[in-house]
Amino acid sequence: MGLVDKVKVLDDFLNERHLENEFSKERFDYFGIDYDGSISTESYIQIHKLPLPLEEVEEYEVVIKFEEYQLSGFKSALIDIKNSFVKEFITATIPLVQKIAYGNSLKQKLIRKLEKFRNHKTGRKFAGILSDFINELTVEYIDYEDRDGKSNNSFKYLPKAHWGTLTKLFHALIDNELLGGDTVEADFLYIFQNLKVENPVRWIGHTSELKYFIELINRTDLGFEDKGSYKWRIAVKCFLKVSSTHLKTITFTDLRTYKVTPKTKEKLDNILVNKILKTPILR
């Protein structure tokens, strides 16, 4: 099945009857019964076996619920689309401009599909998942450059002769428990070279603090290139932050819409801006 067809398959999730049929078929199949066409969306229990050392096996129960089955199936369909896109276009030996064109084409198809889901009674429960998927796919594979043709792989510190400032910044973030203690300094410095980041650094401070820090490293008066509206997309390429509430990696939309508290501003202005970044820079 090609990529376009896999995108079309998402429409199956707008058909409640189709989902009920698929759930019922899997239920009958699990119990070894021939499917007779009857519909049942009641939860049922599957017994799974977990291999243990010394050839022992532990059995555990998994409750299969119709609502969770639908969401899981939808996420699997999206993963299938992503894998096909990466295989067919991203890893293909074709020019970058062609990859970007294919990526934007897929993005537009998915955006149209998202609008369809948002305006559909059954589709609304999948719309949030699809929106996050589009955002993450865009950040990871599609948005290479902004309208001015500038690279947006990572951030950029302008006065290269004074990179010692970034080293001081790194240690301040570690000492104040904003970056994970296992962060390698070289990985941190790399995110200010405007190059593609292979090893994102782990942010353990509050999301409010990460957002304000991103704002700081986009201020030209502090020696950084202003990435404009692209800074939030770049941020999630460079920093790994897991939401303590939802236990998932935050997206650029989460970061862009998060509120920066006065307490956060006061804290970071004190330990980063006043003590490090506002130190006079010789041009």
- Name the DSSP class of 267: H
Quick one: pLDDT band at residue 168, thresholds 50, 70, 90? very high
Q: Write the DSSP symbol of residue 160.
A: G
AA letter at 133: F
Stretch 11-21: mean pLDDT, rounded? 93
pLDDT at residue 241 is higher than 60: yes
Do residues 81 and 90 touch, judged by C-beta distance below 8 A?
Answer: no
**pLDDT at residue 124 in the model:** 94
Confidence of residue 166 (pLDDT cuts 50, 70, 90): very high
pLDDT at 50: 84
The percent of residues above 70 in pLDDT, for the chain, comes to 93
Residues 6+ apart with CB under 8 A from 60: 47, 48, 50
Are the C-beta atoms of 212 and 277 separated by less than 8 Å? no
Q: How far apart are CA 261 and CA 264, in angstroms?
A: 5
Q: For residue 80, which of 137, 39, 154 has the smallest C-alpha distance? A: 137
What is the residue-averaged pLDDT of the chain?
88
Q: Give 139 or 150, the one with higher predicted confidence.
A: 139
What is the pLDDT, as a whole number, of residue 283?
Answer: 38
Residue % of the chain over a pLDDT of 90? 60
pLDDT of residue 95: 76
Lowest-confidence pick of 88-97, 118-127, 186-195, 198-207: 88-97
pLDDT at 155: 94
The answer on pLDDT for 74 being more than 70 is yes
For the residues 135-153, what does the mean pLDDT come to?
66
CA 128 to chain centre: 13
The conformation of residue 35, written as its DSSP 8-state character, comes to: -
- In this model, does residue 59 exceed pLDDT 80? yes
For residue 66, with 0-12 CB atoms within 10 Å meaning exposed, 13-18 middle and 19 or more buried, which class applies?
Answer: middle
Q: For residues 178-217, b (16+ Cβ closer than 10 Å) or e, as one string? A: bbeeebeeebbebbbebeebeebbebbbbbbbbbbbbebb
The tens digit of pLDDT for each residue in 227-238 reads: 988 899 899 989
Beta strands at 239-240 and 201-202: parallel, antiparallel or unpaired? parallel
Average pLDDT over residues 114-122: 94
Long-range contacts of 144-149 (CB under 8 A, 24+ apart): 144/96, 144/100, 146/227, 146/228, 146/230
Confidence of residue 203 (pLDDT cuts 50, 70, 90): very high
Encoded amino acid at 84, one letter: S
pLDDT of 93 above 70: yes
Distance between CA atoms of residues 37 and 18, nearest Å: 12
- Contact (Cβ atoms closer than 8 angstroms) between residue 100 and residue 137: no
Q: What is the mean pLDDT of residues 239-260?
A: 84
Measure the CA–CA gap between 247 and 179, rounded to whole angstroms: 18
pLDDT of residue 45: 92
Q: What does the pLDDT average to over 172-176?
A: 96
